[in-house]
Each structure stands twice: as C-alpha cells, then as structure tokens.
Amino acid sequence: MPSIKVAILGFGTVGEGIYRILNERKEEIKKETGHTIDIVSILVRDTAKERLATPGTRITDDVQEIFATGDIDVVFEAIVGEEPAYSYLSEAIEKGCHVITANKTMFAQHGPALLKHAAFRGVQVCYEATTAGGVPIIRTISGLLPTDRVRRIRGIFNGTSNFILTKMREEGIPFEAALHEAQVLGYAEADPTDDIGGKDAFRKLMILSALSFGRQPDWQDVPIVGIDGVTIEAVKDASAGKLRYRHVADIALDENGALHGSVGPVLIGPEHPLYGVDGVDNAIIVDTDHLGALTLIGPGAGMYPTASAMVGDLLQIVGKREAVVVTS
C-alpha cells in the first residue's frame, strides 16, 4: 500500500498540532484510508530554534528544497498572512500537490483563484480550518449544496470578540480590561486589531460566501463594525433588558439574487440561537431552501480543533479504503 507523502509549511501551534495528530492517530488513519502518512518535510522560519523532535522528517527554511524532491502528495499550510503563503500554495498546486490551508487572510482574498487553479491541475484545495476552527462548516455546506440552496449565513466567527463581550457582561468590566484578559489567556493576538475591528470575521464571511453562493460581494459594500465601540454602559443596559451583544457576520441573498453582507455588534434576545453562545465559541446559522435553519456551535480556534480539521481534510482527499464501484 503506497504511503501518502506530506509536507507541513509552518510549524507554530497549528503545524505542530498537525504533526502530533498524524502521529498519534497513525493506526486509525491507516485503518480508515488504507494508507500510511509519511511526513517528509517541514518548513520553518528558523532552523536553529529548539522545537518538538521530528525524527525522519526534513526540517528546512527553504521551500524550494521541499518542492525540489518532487514526491510530495499533500501540502499542509499553517503560515500566517497572505504572502508568502499564496505563492507557496500556487507553486504546490502547479506541481500537482493537493493543498490544505488554515490561512483565512490568504484564502478570503485568493481562495477563488486557488480553487480554479487546482481544478485545472486536477488537485484539491481544502480549507475547513480557515473558518470557525473545529466546527466543520465547510464540509457541512459542501455536503448540502448539490441538493439544497443556501439563502443566508450568519454567525459568530471571531472567538476573541465573543470572549470579550462575554467577559464584559459576566464580570461588568470595560472593554479594555476584557481585552487584556483575552491577551493574558492567549485568546487575543498581541495586535488584536483584526479581531476586535471585525476584519477577521469579515474574511471568514467572504470565504463562506464564495462557497455558498459561488461569489463574494464587493468588499467595500460590506459595512464592518468591530466591538471596540461597545461600552460597558451599553452592555449593562442590554443585560437589564435581557439582551446580549453578539458580534455577528451576516450575508444573505435577496429575491433578485443580490448579496447583502454586514459585520457588527447586534443585540440578541433569549430565544435567539446565538444568545447562549459564550466565550471563545463560534456559531454559524445556515438558512437553506430545504432545511430552514441549521445551526453549528463549537470551538473557533485552538491547536487541536484546527489541526484536527486539517487532518480531516487530508482524509477527505485520500478517501475511504474501499473505493466505491458503480456497477453500470
């Protein structure tokens, strides 16, 4: 049985999580797919840095060294930011590799181009981990699409913002104190601008828009409001009226087929499915023709949820052990 040869680009939290899961779940993966997974190379920024031991795996800071061997089947990308991630993945696709990414900034912008390129080269691009971490929203919507039609997608796509709003409400502390707590706990980046300003949620909304509707709206037509303007007084007033602030990204098709998107804080009552979604969780409500509303709630980030979603993508690519034979 041939082994699947993989490379991991980026060896931060998520990259290391991929490495760990591929090793910890070796037997289950082999049982499920019939293949062993061989981690051939890992791309790092600094080869001198001390890190998890990876016996038998080439560690390099030169991506060309990885591509030069010509034997990689699947590339995992867990780098941050548009470049060089986009260039690396374009090259991987051109060389006939399947690619799996967790890079939302890159994918919101370049996802449609990567998918087109991959279709042309006969390989797959998987991106479950770009949106809502461990919540399998990409797979769920992909599974619905051939038999159903998505009308609207809305939800909480940024765990940091949701954590901050939750802390403000539960502990009666102002925005800055809640942000500081999120940073201390590692839920917020040193530069939290994209999280609290709404850009991160916007990017995930654009990824889901491309998947669900086959297109994105013009980015400048989507108003983006962050949670940085939500005062503790406003949160207390809301609580007094049994309401909660949630940071909601929302996109819907109107009856003329036009897309309308928005990102910003919304007041929610106790009967709303997003009312109880606290802390760093993400939640997505998908409205379709056949289902009415389908809601998914789960961890929006974290090493294992994210890496687990990416290894799940690998299993989608490799497929089940028994190839399905259509008899006619």
The residues annotated as belonging to the active site are 204
Q: Which of 81, 96, 172, 223 binds a second copy (CB under 8 A)?
A: 96
Residue 121 exposed, middle or buried by CB count within 10 Å (0-12, 13-18, 19+): middle
CB of 309 to a second copy, least distance (A): 9
Residues 6+ apart with CB under 8 A from 233: none
Segment 129 to 158, residues that bind a second copy, using CB under 8 A:
134-136, 139-140, 143-148
**H-type helices in the chain, by residue range?**
13-24, 26-33, 63-68, 85-94, 104-121, 137-144, 159-171, 175-184, 193-196, 199-213, 232-240, 303-318
Per CB under 8 A, 189 contacts a second copy: no
Total binding residues toward a second copy, as defined by CB under 8 A: 64
Stretch that binds a second copy, among 104-112, 227-235, 248-256, 286-294 (CB under 8 A): 286-294
Query: By the 8 A CB rule, do 216 and 109 touch?
Result: no
Per CB under 8 A, 233 contacts a second copy: no
Per CB under 8 A, 122 contacts a second copy: yes
252-261, long-range: CB within 8 Å, 24+ apart, which pairs? 252/151, 252/152, 252/153, 252/154, 252/287, 253/150, 253/151, 253/152, 253/213, 259/209, 259/213, 259/215, 259/216, 259/217, 260/217, 261/205, 261/209, 261/217, 261/221, 261/222
Per CB under 8 A, 322 contacts a second copy: yes
Of the pair 231, 295, the CB lying nearest a second copy is at 295
Dist CA 296 CA 286 (whole Å): 8
Per CB under 8 A, 291 contacts a second copy: yes
Stretch that binds a second copy, among 55-63, 108-116, 250-258, 303-311 (CB under 8 A): 303-311
Per CB under 8 A, 16 contacts a second copy: no
x-marked contacts with a second copy along 27-56 as a string, rule CB under 8 A: -xx-xxx-x---------------------
Residues that bind a second copy (CB under 8 A): 2-5, 21, 25, 28-29, 31-33, 35, 71, 73, 96, 98, 119, 122, 124, 134-136, 139-140, 143-148, 270-273, 275-276, 278, 289-299, 304-305, 308, 311-312, 315-319, 322, 324-328
